[in-house]
Chain A
Amino acid sequence: MNQENIIKGPAGLGLLALSAIVLLASFGYAITSLSSQGHAAFNATSTVPWGQPIATYLYFALASSGLGLIASLPLVFGFRKFYPVVKRCIFLAFIILISGMAVLALELGNVFRMLWVIPLNLQIQSAMFWMGVFYLVDLVFLLWKFQKMDAGEWDSKTSKQVGIGSFLAVLLASGNLALIFGMMSMRPFWFDGLLPIYFYLTAVASGLAALVFFTYLAHGFSRDNMSAPLRNLLEGALPKFFGAVLGGTLLFIAVRAITGMYSNNPEIHLVWSEYLFASPVYQASLWLGILLPFVLMLMSSLRTLAGTQVLVAILVFGGLFAERFFFVVGGQVIPLFKGTWEWDILSYTPSATEWSLTVMGSAMLFTLWVLGERLLNLSAMPPETVMRGNADEAAATAHS
């Protein structure tokens, strides 16, 4: 079934070599900088302690959660049309989370200490403690679910139970990740009980972007190389779903922006007026990275085209990465308890080392993905889905 996967051929080898070189180079640069300068190699400071590496981790972790949620569409809710992408979803969710964790590991001051101080001290009051627990459970369930798919167990009782467990783990992990920010009443820009809903929506949007991009890349950006059920999905339900999720994301951003701008609290409205909307990068990410893809996905003549879908995926990659960056930094740019001591809102621009971590995470994702495409059958789906897809396509051909 996978003969049409170009990654299994020489193109895959080339991509593997390229991504591995970028991975080694960026990791080498980051490690050299960190070992020679410590975290002074970062532009994060005591006033803006969380910078781009945290935003990168957030982006990767939520993209992973989004892919986990998409995988639950067929496995938990019975949307069988999504079976052609479920295995790739689960694999991508796993490797994106691993890549995000690698970035986070290099951001922390003492990463290895974490391995014993967290389990030995069990600080259950901390959302960050639960982040570790839930994402660990998420990883285990993803692996378990993948193993079930790999063994051809699509509809067994255990497989369904693992699917439900995985769905719950994803909800807990990404919802709790939102609350790491959303429970901080001293950071009013973040303080929001509905933040988990916003994170679920944007997680699925970034997950869909990753899924669309990597699915097309695996098939050489040509639908002719795809199986019939996968083609049906990309021409039917998936772009509509993508559009709906982007619409929900826009709605959420609009609601947050309107309430934020209306507020008298300078720690909220100044973030919107003086930092987010004052930044051309944020403006571009919002209009070109989220609104334009939404409009493209609304247009029925365009949304089914392969080129449009790949373009939308790439735009959403950029748009949501910027959204994460401005969300993380935006919560810190109004100086805490400093009042007029500070002349202006705090500024933060990522250093070369911080950028190298983002590149490293992305290169790690590409490397692991190519290995996965080459060594595993990520296009596998239940036999009845293949037969139904082929029958649907034959009927459509006869009809035309």
Chain B
Amino acid sequence: MAKWGMVIDLDKCTGCQACTTACAMENNTLPGESWQDVLFYHQGKYPSAQMKWLPRPCMQCENPSCVHVCPTRATYKDMDAGGIVFVDWNKCIGCKYCMIACPYGVRFYADEKPLLEPDLRDIFPGSNGQLWSPPYQNPEQDWKRGIGIQPAGVVSKCTFCYHKVSKAPAGTPDLDEDIPELKEYVPACVRTCAPKARFFGDLDNPESQVNRLIGDKHGVRLKDHTGNKPQVYYLGAGAGVPAFEPKPRS
């Protein structure tokens, strides 16, 4: 079985947020429920001030702290699904301990105050157990893996678009949107990336492009000191998050 991994080249990423939009469209997430987000930072001061950005999906960690803390095994790492970390919405009790334990802040509890008004949940009220039911939605539903639109009271997160990835031919080293016969299996954020800053492939396959990129271009994992060991690697300058600074007090 493959071990799916993602490589994001920050030297190519333009911060356009097409990945964020594609993810939201593919997975019908609510505003603020950004399974895939691009975070923008400023660092330093004039004349050496920098503006940086960092695309941030779920890291699908090899040693995920969210899985260890979940009291019901609703959050689990599925080695038969490429090592992707899923949330079983049939088991999640909404205790939010996984959100506390995730060092990357990539888990969402959409049953909260809306980020934007009007609240889409009021415009498209949920039916069939869904938290909200937009008229156009991805027909793929697999609540055992947290795919589709979630019910109320559960945690949601990026699934590496498992509903697409799982249909790829076995043994495929890389899911590259430039290969016509594979493009339907490529995660939405990777497929839509205009500057081709994202790569998706099998970290266990020595022939995969993702492994070559990590090796040749010194791929790094963020917050590696936590021991969570992400399956997402970053290339290029700026692979780091500046320390938080509070707003200057008057």
> A residues near B, CB below 8 A?
38-40, 42-47, 49-50, 108-111, 113-114, 117-118, 121, 123, 125-129, 131-132, 180, 184-187, 266-267, 270, 274, 331-332, 334-345
Whether A340 pairs with B41 at a CB distance below 8 angstroms is: yes
Chain A: minimal CB distance from B46 (Å)? 15
Q: A39-B112, A341-B41 are in contact. Are A126 and B71 (CB under 8 A)?
A: yes
Q: Is the CB of B113 within 8 A of A123?
A: no
5 residue pairs, one from A and one from B, having the closest CB atoms:
A109-B94, A109-B153, A186-B103, A128-B71, A49-B96
- Confirm or deny: B92 has a beta carbon within 8 angstroms of a beta carbon on chain A: yes
Distance to closest chain B CB from A338 (angstroms): 6
Whether a CB of chain A sits under 8 angstroms from the CB of B124 is no
Q: How far is the CA of A299 from the CA of B70 in the complex (A)?
A: 48
Which residues of chain B in 41-86 are interfacial with respect to chain A, using CB atoms and an 8 Å cutoff?
A: 41-43, 56, 65, 68-74
Of all chain B residues, the one with the shortest Cβ separation from A181 is B100
Q: How far is the CA of A1 from the CA of B56 in the complex (A)?
A: 68
Which residues of the partner chain A approach B103 to less than 8 Å between Cβ atoms? 186, 336-337
Contacts of A185 in B (CB 8 A): 226
B161 sits at the interface (CB 8 A)? no
**CB <8 Å contact, B109 and A132:** no
**Cβ–Cβ < 8 Å partners of A334 in chain B:** 244
Q: Is the CB of B244 within 8 A of A339?
A: yes
B246–A345 contact, CB under 8 A? Answer: yes
Question: Please, could you name 12 A-B residue pairs with CB atoms under 8 Å apart, sorted by A?
Answer: A45-B113, A49-B99, A108-B94, A109-B95, A109-B152, A125-B69, A126-B69, A266-B244, A336-B104, A337-B56, A337-B241, A339-B241
Interchain CB contact under 8 A, A44 and B105: no
Inter-chain CB contacts under 8 Å: number: 152
Contact A337 B242 (CB under 8 A): no
Known contacts A46-B107, A339-B41, then 13 further A-B pairs from the complex at CB < 8 Å, ordered by chain A residue: A39-B112, A50-B100, A108-B93, A118-B71, A123-B70, A126-B97, A128-B95, A336-B103, A337-B104, A337-B105, A337-B223, A341-B39, A342-B244
CA distance A266 to B96 in the complex (A): 24
How many whole Å from A339's CB to the nearest CB in chain B?
A: 4
Q: Which of B92, B96, B112, B244 contacts A338 (CB 8 A)?
A: B244
Given contacts A109-B92, A339-B41, contact A125 B68 (CB under 8 A): yes
Determine if B239 is an interface residue (Cβ-Cβ < 8 Å): no
* Distance, CA A339 to CA B44, complexed state (A): 13
Residues on the A chain within 8 Å of B102, using CB: 186, 336
**Pairwise interchain contact B69-A127, C-beta atoms closer than 8 A:** yes
Contacts A117-B72, A184-B101: A38 and B111 contacting too (C-beta < 8 A)? yes
Bound Cα distance A54, B244 (Å): 26
Of the residues B41, B109, B222, B245, contact of A109 by C-beta under 8 Å: B109
Q: In the complex, what residue of chain B is closest to A343 when comparing beta carbons?
A: B247
Task: Determine chain A's interface SS by DSSP, over half rule.
Answer: loop
Q: Which residues of A contact B43 (CB under 8 A)?
A: 340
Q: Which of B39, B99, B100, B108: most chain A Cβ within 10 A?
A: B100
CB distance from B29 to the nearest CB of A (A): 12
Query: Nearest Cβ in chain A — how far from B203, in angstroms?
Result: 22
> Is B8 at the interface (CB under 8 A from chain A)?
no
Contacts of A113 in B (CB 8 A): 72, 91-93
Q: Are A270 and B246 in contact (CB under 8 A)?
A: yes
Q: Least Cβ distance of B192 to chain A in Å?
A: 22
- In residues 231-250 of chain B, which contact A (Cβ within 8 Å)? 241-247
A339 contacts B69, C-beta separation under 8 Å: no
In the complex, the answer to whether A110 meets B94 with C-beta atoms within 8 Å is yes
A128 touches B69 (CB 8 A): yes
Residue on B nearest A114 in the bound complex, by CB: B93
By a CB distance below 8 angstroms, the chain B residues around A49 are 96, 99-100, 109
- The answer to whether B96 and A335 have CB atoms under 8 Å apart is no
Does the CB pair B94–A186 fall under 8 Å? no
Q: Which residues of B contact A125 (CB under 8 A)?
A: 68-69
| A339 proximity list for chain B (CB < 8 A) | 39, 41, 241-244
Whether A50 and B70, one on each chain, are in contact in the complex, defined by CB atoms closer than 8 angstroms, is no
Bits for B191-203, please: 1 = Cβ < 8 Å to A, else 0.
Answer: 0000000000000
State how many angstroms separate the Cβ of B99 from the closest Cβ of chain A.
5
Our pick among B100, B112, B246 for the contact of A344 (Cβ within 8 Å) is B246
Contact present for B73 and A121 (CB under 8 Å): yes
A187: chain B residues within 8 A (beta carbon): 100
Q: Which residue of B lies closest to A47 (CB)?
A: B105
Interface centre among B33, B113, B121 (most CB of A within 10 A): B113
Q: Which of A38, A332, A341 contacts B40 (CB 8 A)?
A: A341
Closest Cβ–Cβ distance, residue A340 to chain B (whole Å): 5
Report yes or no: A38 in contact with B153, Cβ–Cβ below 8 A. yes
Contact (Cβ within 8 A) B243 A46: no
Cβ-defined contact, B68 with A126, below 8 A: yes
